[in-house]
A and B are shown apart, each in its own frame.
Chain A
Amino acid sequence: MTSTGREHGREMTRREMLRRFLALGLALPGGTALLAACAGGQQPTPTTAAPTQPPAGQASPTAPTTGQAEDKLEIFSWWTNPGEADGLKALFDLFSQRRPGVEIINATVAGGAGTNAKAVLVTRMQGGNPPDSFQVHAGQELIGTWVVAGKMEPINDLFEQEGWNKVMPKTLLDQISHEGKFYSVPVNIHRSNMLWYNKRIFEANNLQPPKTVDEFYQVAEKLKSAGVTPLSVGGKDKFEVPHLFESVLLAVFGPEDYPKLFGDPGMWESDARIQEAIDMLDQFLSYANEDRAALSWADAAQRVIDGSAAMTIMGDWAYGYFINKGAQPGQVFGWVPAPGTDGSFLWLSDSFGLPVGAPHRNNAIEWLKVCGSREGQDAFNPKKGSIPARTDADKSKYDEYLRYSIERFAQDKLAPSVVHGAAANEAYMTAYNNALNVFSASRDKDQLKGMLIEAAKEL
C-alpha cells in the first residue's frame, strides 16, 4: 500500500502542489491579519502606563489628567446570573458617565461560584494577557494567589485619595492588604452563615426558627416526623457541603478561634473540637436529602420555597435567588443566622484589583474609583443582593434583608469564609473541599478527619 501511495503521490503532485502553494500563500497573510486583529484588542502596555495608543477620536469631558486617552476597559468577572449581572451593569453605567466613549468589554465566565472563571483568569495572567481589572475574593484568594506572586499593583494612593481606609472596616482592610499595602477595592459583602427557612412549613408545624444547634436538632426531628425534609443541601457545584461545614466550624469554635484554624495547621490534629465539628456535620447531614450530589445550591434552595424541604444553610446570595423566583421575604421564607452562629458574621467580599500590566491602566483606575465610591456601591449592591463594603451606605436604597445584614455587619464579630476564598489559599480550599465532598457521599468520619489534617498541610 505504502509504495503505491508514494508512486501515486508523485503522479499527482505537480498540479496539486501548485494549487497547494497558492492556497498556502493565500492563507498565510489572511492568518497573520487575523492574528494581528486578535492582538490588537489587548495591546500590552508597560505598567508605568506610557501612552502608547493614539488618542481616541472622541475626547471625554472628564479628560484624564495625564492627557492620555484609552478607548477600552476590560472587566473580568463571573457575574452572569440575573441580579449580579444587573449590578455589574449599574457599575458600568456609572463608569460610562465618567468616561463616555470608552468601550467596556464585559469578560464573564459563568459557573461554579467562580471556579471556572478563575481557571480562565489564571491562564490569561500566566500568558501575560491580564484584563484591566478582575473580580477576586478579598483575602487569601487575592493575597496568597496574586499578590504574593507579584501580579498585582498596590493601590495605596487610591485608598488615601478616596478616603476608603476610613469608611471600610479594619477586618476587611486587613484581608486586602499585604505588608502594609492595599491591593484591591472591595465592592460588597456577603454573609455565608445564614439559614433560610420556609415560613409556611414552620407555621404549619408550630415551630420557631432554630437559634442554637440543639434547637436545630429539635426542629429537625419534628420536621422529620412530619414528613418534611428538614435540611436541603446541594452538592453538584462541590462547594455546598464545604459551605455547610464552615458554618458548623464557626458554631463549634466561635468567631475568635475559628480564624486560628487557618493560621495554625496543627489545630486540625490536636484540637478535640474538630471531632465535635465533624460529628455535628454528620448529624446535620442525617437531616438532609440524600440526593445532594445531583443538586446545585440553587436547586436545594428551590426546594425550600417549593415547600418540599424546610431549611437550607447557604450564603445570602440565596436571598437574591428567592427574590428572583418571586418568593416574598417574610411571607414565603425567613432567615436567621446558621445554628449556633448568632452574633458572628462569616463574610466574604468581592473586590476588584489592578493587575500588573493592565492594558488600559488609566481606565482601570477610574473603574476602581467607581467600585469604591459610595454611589457605585449603592448602585451595585441592592441589585446584587449584597451589602456595601463601605459603612456609610444609604440604607434607604436597600430592602429588608439587606438592612438587617448591614446592621449585623456593623455589630457582629467578623470571621472570614474559607470556602469563598477569604480565609485560606486556593490549594487549601481545593483540598478542604475535596475532603468534604468525599464525606458527603461516604459519611466516613475518620476518613474526613484524616483528609482535613492532610489538607491543613497546604496552609
Chain B
Amino acid sequence: MTGKVIEEARPRPGVATRPMAARSRYRLVERLIPILMITPSIIAIAVFVYGFIGWTTVVSVSRWQGIVPDLSFAGFRNYAALLTSYRFQSDIRNTIVFTVFFLIGSLSIGLLLAVLLDSKVRGESFFRTVYLFPMALSFVVTGTVWQWLFTPGAPGQPTGLNLLFEQIGLPVFQTWSTVSHVWPGGGWKPEWLRVPFGVPLAMIPVIIAAIWQMSGFTMAMYLAGLRAIPDELREAARVDGASEWQVFRWITFPLLQPVTLSAVIVLGHISLKIFDLIMTQTGGGPGFATDVPGIFMYETTFKSNKYAEGAAVAIVMLLMVSVLIVPYLIWRLRTETER
C-alpha cells in the first residue's frame, strides 16, 4: 500500500514537456499497445476455453454416439440417460463424499500443522519442507503407492498397512479397499435413486491418500495467513487477559477466514475434477464404489466412443465446479471494486 502513494506522487519524466499533438499520439499508442498485447491471449482463451465449452455443449445435446460425428439435435436425452444410470449416480455420490471428507481433512490437518509450526518450533523450515513435500509428487505416484499400501495380500498374508491393522487386532480394515460396501447404506431412498446413500468404504483409503498429499499445501497457505496477522492484535488480546485458546478462537481463526476460503476453492476444484489419483489407486472400483465423473467421462468418450454422453458428463462437471467457483469470483469482484 505504501508503494501506491509513492507511485502516484512521482512525476512522470518526459510526459509533461512534450508538445500536445505528439503527446496525444503517444497516448493513443500507449493505449493501443496493451490492447494489442492482450489480444492474442484473449483470442486464444475465447477459442480454446469458451469456444470448446460451447462445442462440448453442442456435442452433449447431439446424437454423436460412435466414431462418425452426428450433430443432429437430440434434446436432453443424454443428460437423462446419465442421471438415471447407476454409474453416474454413484459418481455423484462419490464426488460429494470425497470432496466433503477431503476438504475437512486437509483443512483441519493443514491448520493444525500450521499452528504447530507457527509456535516457533526449532527446525521449523525442515518440518515445513517435510510436510509440503507430498505436494511435489504427482497424484499418479501417490495413487500407486497408496494402492500398494492398502492392497490386502493373499488370504492370511496381509501386506502393507493391512499388516498393521492385523497386528493391532483390527483385521476388518484389511478389505477396505476391495469391498463396495456403503456405510450406512440401506434405509429409505427415492424411487429414482439406484445407489445406496452413504460413504463407500473403499473411498476412505483414497481420501486418506488425497489428504496426505494436499494437507501440506493447506498448511503452507495457513502458515502464510498466520504470518500476515499482526502480532499487535494478539498481544492486545493477551493484555486484555485472553487465554491462548481464546486468542486463537477469537483473533487468529477469524482472521484466517480469507485463507480458508481460498483453500476451499483450490482444494474443492481439485476434488471435483479428481481423476489421476483415483484412476491409479482404485481405477474407480470395486464396482464403481470409488468411481468419479472424470473417469466416467474418459471411459465413455474414449473407450465406448459415446461422444455425446461423454460431453454431457463434462458439462455436468463444469456445472459442479461452477457452483463452487462462481460465487467466489463474484465475491472477489465485489471486494475488489469496493477497494
B288 CB-CB contact with A under 8 Å: yes
Task: Give every chain A residue within 8 A of B300 (Cβ-Cβ).
Answer: 430
B286 CB-CB contact with A under 8 Å: yes
B210 CB-CB contact with A under 8 Å: no
> Judging by beta carbons under 8 Å apart, are B175 and A290 in contact?
yes
> Judging by beta carbons under 8 Å apart, are A122 and B302 in contact?
yes
B57 CB-CB contact with A under 8 Å: no
Known A17-B37, A437-B285, A441-B179: A430·B303 in contact at CB below 8 Å: yes
B86 CB-CB contact with A under 8 Å: yes
B252 CB-CB contact with A under 8 Å: no
B8 CB-CB contact with A under 8 Å: yes
Interface residues of B in 161-206 (CB under 8 A from A): 175, 177-180, 202
B227 CB-CB contact with A under 8 Å: no
> Judging by beta carbons under 8 Å apart, are B67 and A440 in contact?
no
Task: Give every chain B residue within 8 A of A10 (Cβ-Cβ).
Answer: 30
Stretch of B16-24, B94-102, B148-156 with 4 or more beta carbons under 8 angstroms from chain A: B148-156
> Judging by beta carbons under 8 Å apart, are A149 and B287 in contact?
no
B299 CB-CB contact with A under 8 Å: yes
Count contacts on A: residues with CB < 8 A to the other chain: 54
Q: Main SS of chain A's interface residues?
A: helix
Known A8-B7, A303-B154, A308-B154: A442·B180 in contact at CB below 8 Å: yes
Interface residues of B in 1-51 (CB under 8 A from A): 3-4, 7-8, 12, 30, 33-34, 37
> Judging by beta carbons under 8 Å apart, are A13 and B306 in contact?
no
> Judging by beta carbons under 8 Å apart, are B287 and A7 in contact?
no
Known A294-B177, A437-B288, A438-B86: A430·B155 in contact at CB below 8 Å: no
A50 CB-CB contact with B under 8 Å: no
Task: Give every chain B residue within 8 A of A447 (Cβ-Cβ).
Answer: 86
> Judging by beta carbons under 8 Å apart, are A293 and B155 in contact?
no
B213 CB-CB contact with A under 8 Å: no
Q: How far is the CA of A292 from the CA of B283 in the complex (A)?
A: 13
Which of B67, B298, B303, B339 sits near A126, CB closer than 8 Å? Answer: B67
B282 CB-CB contact with A under 8 Å: yes
> Judging by beta carbons under 8 Å apart, are A149 and B154 in contact?
no
B-contact bits for A111-140, CB 8 A (1 contact / 0 none) = 000010011001101100000000000000
Q: How far is the CA of A336 from the CA of B68 in the complex (A)?
A: 42
Task: Give every chain A residue within 8 A of B7 (Cβ-Cβ).
Answer: 4, 7-8, 11
How far apart are A235's CB and chain B's nearest CB, in angstroms? 6
Interface residues of A in 85-121 (CB under 8 A from B): 115, 118-119
> Judging by beta carbons under 8 Å apart, are A293 and B177 in contact?
yes
B305 CB-CB contact with A under 8 Å: yes
Q: What are 19 inter-chain pairs, A to B, with CB distance below 8 A?
A: A8-B3, A17-B37, A118-B302, A126-B67, A148-B66, A149-B66, A149-B68, A235-B286, A291-B151, A294-B152, A306-B154, A308-B155, A427-B305, A429-B304, A430-B300, A431-B304, A434-B87, A441-B180, A442-B287
